[in-house]
A and B are shown apart, each in its own frame.
Chain A
Amino acid sequence: MNAHRHSYYEAGARERLHGLLDAGSFRELLGPAERMTSPHLPPLDAPVAFDDGVVVGRGRLAGRSVLAGAQEGGFNGGAVGEVHGAKLTGLLERALDERPAAVLLLVESGGVRLHEANAGLIAVSEVMRAVLAVRSAGIPVLVLDGGQFGCFGGMGIVARCCDAIVISEEGRLGLSGPEVIETTCGVEEFDSRDRALVWRTVGGKHRYLLGEADVLVADDIGAFREAAIRLLDTVPDLSLDALDAEHGRLAARLERFGTCRDALDIWSALGIGQPARLPLLDTDEFLTATADRRA
């Protein structure tokens, strides 16, 4: 209800970057004037975008130099094509040279752009490889997820390859999207038209409770900015011990919740009182109600 809040969910990619970084500090690389468009869309008679649906550049966050990329859900749902992926990969590789305080990925994507088939798949895998290269160079890669299309498919994997995810309740994170699950496994497995089910399964609150997202914020560009600033000193840890610990955590999670049919069952199992009310709570109330109860 705060009129001074600026919705992250409803903003476009450039609006998000301008609101997130220090005022006036963002400089776009390979901007729309360069007309770097997809070579795969015109043969299909599909429209192109002059930025191929992703904005990359450098700026400052709390005075510190960062590189940042933001996907534009308004163009093909942020789907990753060859040029789109190459811009993200280039941004990440630039980090190895420039050594910024962090790389910020403002994800909003349904995954690979199906029109571009293998070129899109390869592009996503190159982004993953670049993320890991940047992290092993000691530079944190931080993900912000709060856009209208969520973060699914290959970008869902990319997001989980990074150091930390900041998510809003409106943000969604997953591998296969709800419609894909329903199509492949049947409506009995997952009813993609049950909006309440979809949101409590892939929505930010559940992803935060499961530990897949690290920070839950309100749908406000300012709140994302504050959270990103607090994560700037994250030290990437790609050691074998860290990987083993993560695998152990995932195995324990499967053990504990593997038989749950619904997020509500998981919330009950986490010992959260009145789990059905969680979706309605605003961010602060939710964090209070679930303090120390995350998986």
Chain B
Amino acid sequence: MNAPLTPPRRWDTQSQNRAARLGRAAAFARGRHVAAADARALLEAVLEPGDRVCLEGNNQKQADFLAKTLVSVDPARVHDLHMVQSVLALPEHIDVFERGIATKLDFSFSGPQGARLAKLVSAGRIDIGAIHTYLELFGRYFTDLTPRVSLIAAQAADAAGNLYTGPNTEDTPVIVEATAFKRGIVIAQVNEVVDTLPRIDIPADWVDFVIPAPTPAYVEPLFTRDPAQISEVQVLMAMMAIQGIYAEYGVQRLNHGIGFDTAAIELLLPTYGESLGLKGKICRHWALNPHPALIPAIEAGWVESVHSFGGELGMEAYTAARPDVFFTGPDGSMRSNRALCQAAGHYACDLFIGSTLQIDLAGNSSTATLGRIAGFGGAPNMGADARGRRHASPAWLKAGEQARAGSSRMPRGQKLVVQMVETFREHMAPAFVEQLDAWELAEQAGMPLPPVMIYGEDVTHILTEEGIANLLLCRTAGEREQAIRGVAGYTAVGLGRDRRAVENLRDRGVIRRPEDLGIDKRLASRDLLAAKSMKDLVRASGGLYDPPKRFRNW
């Protein structure tokens, strides 16, 4: 046998490549530390054309210095990067494509940059792989989208290169885990280098380079809502949510989306909820960022635990002072973790409630608007029935029973997924439509599917100022459509209702008006809010909450 002589296959090419990169970078580093002035040279030394790069862009915390640095590299040396990051928040996140440094993108949310992203996609400058939910994208970090180089942000580093990420840990652990354990390179910008870290969130041997940034990493106070801007319609809707859904199902574990609607619910718990005798019976465990609006409920003893996706500016001292409620480290400061909180929200919560922009006649809801590619973030993970869930709870069982009553389907529970919208949004745009804008957007941007935030089959309740439509009780697509029309008020969709069918649904309790719930609309006043201003929130926190300047009038 004269077999051709082939060299034995090498199994450590990634390690070799990593060593070559570290070798090229060595000139700029002292140990793991690199000066800010050498950051660009470091990136040019480490990055190779075609690399998959994660530039830490979170919902809140941004590796903004590294983003600026990446935009400044020479496109002749660094090009065709494939960006894999959860959020496109900063202009630099798009600039890297405009400058020809990157060409391909996999992401999950692009809220603030959605319009520019759409333009570059239609100009053929960005090739979008896919738009994900957070958990999906994190899942792909560990399968086919593992970053070769990750550029992350931490609060502080020590001399050895250990990192403290603190309250705004967010995506950092999942990014570093995927990169460091597949022989990739991890570069961290830090606000400061200290002798002793409060605690170690990321060990030094998972980190290759640490750069003290000239200015602290930008953090967006995304979850702060000024109670002064909550309207009486929102108070009414919050009363309906508490009485018609939370109390009705005995919801103990839940997640709230961002917005004034849900802030109103949080602020009504210690007043209206208390008056209904619901304390201890609902809303005990939360997958939620440290919302300032939750302070009065926490102080009134409603809340047993809160695990958070990220931190919230100004809530640091408050969360540290309430370790029985929040997840905090041995040093006392909070730790967040987006991946784990998303998992908690998906599998361990009985209810998700959030706002949306458009709902169609099947209950599909979308925040997509024409000319913007906004992506999904985490709402689809929160706002989807967890088909893999097996543990029971009264709320989950009741929802499942309602959906299966009268049929012989295998019994199981169901997550409560509530869409809370006023029938008209700002500028009198109707929240209910015959067809979602998502269809047209999908065509414009060449997407394989319309970008639906929450599928109708997962939505269990639609709550408007007109009432609650319980879609679990609908047995046909026609009933479902009339239930939705029945709470769509004076929108064209609402006016198109079949009056008899809607009255029939109301008799069956599928549609419930405020008066059907025993709610006197005239009592829906802002006086029910446990805090009516930012200052009230500070007072409720005993002075521990320190709101960002733009929310203060003092």
Instruction: State the CA gap A200–B535 with chains docked (Å).
Output: 14
Interface status of B203 (Cβ within 8 A of chain A): no
Interface status of B271 (Cβ within 8 A of chain A): yes
Given contacts A280-B535, A280-B543, A282-B539, contact A3 B554 (CB under 8 A): no
Q: Produce 1/0 per residue, B128-158, CB < 8 A to A.
A: 0000000000000000000000000000000
CB distance from B298 to the nearest CB of A (A): 13
Contacts of A1 in B (CB 8 A): 296, 530-531, 536, 539-540
CB distance from B477 to the nearest CB of A (A): 44
The answer on a CB contact under 8 Å between A195 and B527 is no
The answer on a CB contact under 8 Å between A5 and B553 is no
Interface status of A279 (Cβ within 8 A of chain B): yes
Contacts of B543 in A (CB 8 A): 280
Residues of B195-231 whose CB lies within 8 A of A? none
Contacts of A200 in B (CB 8 A): 554
Instruction: State the CA gap A200–B554 with chains docked (Å).
Output: 7
The answer on a CB contact under 8 Å between B527 and A3 is yes
Contacts of A198 in B (CB 8 A): 553
Contacts of B532 in A (CB 8 A): 7, 10
Contacts of A280 in B (CB 8 A): 535, 538-539, 543, 554
Q: Produce 1/0 per residue, B531-554, CB < 8 A to A.
A: 110011011100100000110111
Interface status of A6 (Cβ within 8 A of chain B): yes
Interface status of A250 (Cβ within 8 A of chain B): no
Given contacts A6-B527, A7-B526, contact A196 B553 (CB under 8 A): yes
CB distance from A31 to the nearest CB of B (A): 21
Q: Produce 1/0 per residue, A35-54, CB < 8 A to B.
A: 00000000000000000000
Interface status of A199 (Cβ within 8 A of chain B): yes
The answer on a CB contact under 8 Å between A195 and B552 is yes
Residues of A194-226 whose CB lies within 8 A of B? 195-196, 198-200
Given contacts A280-B535, A280-B538, contact A3 B528 (CB under 8 A): yes
Contacts of B536 in A (CB 8 A): 1
CB distance from B159 to the nearest CB of A (A): 37
The 8 Å CB contact of B552, one of A5, A7, A196, A282, is A196
Contacts of B552 in A (CB 8 A): 195-196
* Smallest Cβ-Cβ distance to A198: which chain B residue: B553
The answer on a CB contact under 8 Å between B538 and A7 is no
The answer on a CB contact under 8 Å between B528 and A196 is no
Contacts of B538 in A (CB 8 A): 280
Contacts of B296 in A (CB 8 A): 1
How many Cβ-Cβ contacts under 8 Å join chain A to chain B?
Answer: 37
Contacts of B535 in A (CB 8 A): 280
Instruction: State the CA gap A45–B552 with chains docked (Å).
Output: 37
Instruction: State the CA gap A198–B552 with chains docked (Å).
Output: 11
Q: Produce 1/0 per residue, A1-18, CB < 8 A to B.
A: 101011100100000000
Contacts of B271 in A (CB 8 A): 3
Interface centre among B296, B527, B539, B549 (most CB of A within 10 A): B527
Residues of A169-186 whose CB lies within 8 A of B? none
The answer on a CB contact under 8 Å between B553 and A195 is yes
CB distance from A272 to the nearest CB of B (A): 15
CB distance from B546 to the nearest CB of A (A): 11
Q: Produce 1/0 per residue, A107-149, CB < 8 A to B.
A: 0000000000000000000000000000000000000000000
Contacts of A282 in B (CB 8 A): 539
* Smallest Cβ-Cβ distance to B533: which chain A residue: A170
* Smallest Cβ-Cβ distance to B540: which chain A residue: A1
Contacts of A7 in B (CB 8 A): 526-527, 532
The 8 Å CB contact of B549, one of A6, A196, A199, A279, is A196
The answer on a CB contact under 8 Å between A199 and B527 is no
The answer on a CB contact under 8 Å between B526 and A10 is yes
Contacts of B539 in A (CB 8 A): 1, 280, 282
The answer on a CB contact under 8 Å between A279 and B554 is yes
Contacts of B553 in A (CB 8 A): 195-196, 198-199, 279
* Smallest Cβ-Cβ distance to A199: which chain B residue: B553
CB distance from B282 to the nearest CB of A (A): 19
Instruction: State the CA gap A142–B530 with chains docked (Å).
Output: 32
Listed in ascending order, the chain A residues whose CB lies under 8 Å from chain B are 1, 3, 5-7, 10, 195-196, 198-200, 279-280, 282
User: 5 other contacts beyond A7-B526, A196-B552, A280-B543, with CB at 8 A cut-off?
Assistant: A1-B531, A196-B553, A199-B554, A279-B554, A280-B538
Nearest 8 A/B pairs, CB to CB: A279-B554, A195-B553, A199-B553, A196-B554, A3-B271, A196-B552, A10-B526, A199-B554
Q: Give 28 pairs: A residue, B residue, CB < 8 Å, sorted on A.
A: A1-B296, A1-B530, A1-B539, A1-B540, A3-B271, A3-B527, A3-B528, A3-B530, A5-B527, A7-B526, A7-B527, A7-B532, A10-B526, A195-B550, A195-B552, A196-B549, A196-B553, A196-B554, A198-B553, A199-B553, A200-B554, A279-B554, A280-B535, A280-B538, A280-B539, A280-B543, A280-B554, A282-B539
